[in-house]
Structure 1
Amino acid sequence: MTARAELAAIADSGAAAFAALRPPLTAEGRAAAVLMLFGKLDDLPADRSAEASVVSRDLDVLLVERASTLRAHPGQIAFPGGRIDPGDASATDAALREAQEETGLDPTGVEVLGALGEVPLERSGHLVTPVLAWWQKPSPVRVVDEAESAAVFRLPVAELLDPANRGVTVIRREGHVWRGPAFLIRTEGGERTLWGFTAMLLDALFDRLGWTEPWDRTRELPLVI
């Protein structure tokens, strides 16, 4: 089965895909959407042998680095996305609009596979709908608005799945400890840690797809907040 077909099968499950990521919000969440866009996005395959990975070396996922001046999640690596505006017909429309505004992609080349159900983001009070998609006809991407994004990344999935790039981040605040999955990524700006909500979505998706390789869940990765 191709990666696209596997992703489409997950999309068919709809809200069940991220059921485990739904702790209750303490207040009504503000509606938002993110675009989880996969495909062959460039001509740079993963720096990993084909035999070592469960996915093709040329399978990528589109991510952005949020501007450091943003109030919510500054500087973090994330999926393109944002709040659902009154003019958006659906979460899917919002995800595509935000992705176009942030990366300049042509939405007509994106095949939407399906929305995966709302996931609460407790810290910022959002109720986020992940929209799973396949880039049928890739178009150039770039930073469109520096007030929103600092960089655009097309990351090989095989490298994200590499156990050498897996770990957890740990946040200790006021007697509470939060642990979550994380990924080491390498970009033109150097090595970074992908963590938080985006890492949780990727981790859960990889588990549902059966792509996850055994990794050290006690390994702590560096975190800069």
Structure 2
Amino acid sequence: MTRTGEEVQGTGGLLRREGLPDWLEPVDRAARTVEPQQLSRFLPPADGAGRQSAVLILFGEGPRGPELLLMERSGSLRSHAGQPSFPGGALDPEDGDPASGGLLRTALREAREETGLDPAGVQLFGVLPRLYIPVSGFVVTPVLGWWHTPTPVGVVDPAETARVFTVPVADLTDPENRATATHPSGHHGPAFLVESALVWGFTAGVIDRILHFAGWERPWDRSKRVPLDWRS
């Protein structure tokens, strides 16, 4: 996908911004203006290497206001075992050409397969710049969605997903729930302690940047550390 001003090409006409709730406007605006390097230092290789994939960043409205849909990956998986994450995965042939909306269809298909989400209740309204996960070699397109008609979600395949849950944005912005995750390798990055889970890595990094560029971030203690182990 390429970005030209406010226009996102390669979405196959699958994006629609009309009818979004007012509170999502800052996220929509950020998606249309943020530059790749403002999101992460890990960007897709210039030679085109990496496996194309997508994640669904799905915003809904729950009892405590705006919330995000997350899942916890099965502890038996080879990659990112046990980590909370956005629903998502690799582009499949059935998703179609990534230049004409294939990656948006990937995000919806993977969310359906992993959480039982009904795509009919979701309005896709934006994409963030593609990012890179060096440890797995995935080039990831974050796809933004509005869950206008929520339907029940849960674990579909325990071999892939340990649990599915929503997190109020109010908890994500609460300074008490924020920390810096530190890995023995020396890597460090934002983390969230929410819903009995430690959200870190790629997922936490994207959430952190969305909160920042949407103007939702509150000052928090960046010296508060949460150590990770070598298995993470």
The answer to whether 1:21 aligns with 2:40 is yes
1:181–1:200 CA contact under 8 A, matched in 2: yes
- SS of the equivalent of 1:172 reads coil
Cα distance in 2 for residues equivalent to 1:7 and 1:78: 19
Match runs of 1:101-120 below 5 Å = 101-120=113-132
**Equivalent residue for 2:187, pick from 175, 178, 183:** 178
1:109–1:139 CA contact under 8 A, matched in 2: yes
Q: 1:20-48 CA deviation, whole Å, 9 max, x = no partner?
A: 414355671111100000011x43x2xxx
> 2:29 maps to what in 1?
9
Cα distance in 1 for residues equivalent to 2:175 and 2:87: 25
> 2:13 maps to what in 1?
none
Q: Extract unaligned runs of 5+ from structure 2.
A: 1-20, 97-101
> 1:49 maps to what in 2?
none
Cα distance in 2 for residues equivalent to 1:180 and 1:37: 22
> 1:82 maps to what in 2?
89
Cα distance in 2 for residues equivalent to 1:140 and 1:18: 36
- SS of the equivalent of 1:113 reads strand
The answer to whether 1:36 aligns with 2:36 is no
2:44–2:132 CA contact under 8 A, matched in 1: yes
Kindly state the Cα deviation for residue 5 of structure 1 after the two structures are TM-superposed.
2.0
1:18–1:116 CA contact under 8 A, matched in 2: no
Cα distance in 2 for residues equivalent to 1:23 and 1:211: 24
1:25–1:122 CA contact under 8 A, matched in 2: no
Cα distance in 1 for residues equivalent to 2:142 and 2:44: 17
Q: Which amino acid aligns with 1:195?
A: W
Q: CA RMSD in A?
A: 1.8
- SS of the equivalent of 1:98 reads helix
2:36–2:130 CA contact under 8 A, matched in 1: no
Q: Extract unaligned runs of 5+ from structure 1.
A: 46-57
Q: Which amino acid aligns with 1:61?
A: L
Cα distance in 2 for residues equivalent to 1:39 and 1:82: 21
Q: Which amino acid aligns with 2:58?
A: L
> 1:158 maps to what in 2?
170
Q: Compared with structure 1, are the counterparts of its residues 37 and 74 closer, same or farther at alpha carbon in structure 2 (3 Å cutoff)? A: same
Cα distance in 1 for residues equivalent to 2:91 and 2:55: 10
| 4+ runs deviating over 6 angstroms | none
> 1:52 maps to what in 2?
none
May I ask how many residue pairs the two structures share in their alignment?
Answer: 203
Cα distance in 2 for residues equivalent to 1:131 and 1:17: 14
Cα distance in 1 for residues equivalent to 2:213 and 2:70: 20
Q: Which amino acid aligns with 1:198?
A: T
Cα distance in 2 for residues equivalent to 1:208 and 1:145: 35
Q: Compared with structure 1, are the counterparts of its residues 166 and 121 closer, same or farther at alpha carbon in structure 2 (3 Å cutoff)? A: same
Cα distance in 1 for residues equivalent to 2:105 and 2:37: 20
1:193–1:223 CA contact under 8 A, matched in 2: no
Question: Which moves more between the two structures, 162-171 or 21-30?
Answer: 21-30
Identity of aligned residues (%): 44
2:26–2:215 CA contact under 8 A, matched in 1: no
1:62–1:152 CA contact under 8 A, matched in 2: yes
Cα distance in 1 for residues equivalent to 2:218 and 2:149: 29
> 2:218 maps to what in 1?
213
- SS of the equivalent of 2:95 reads coil
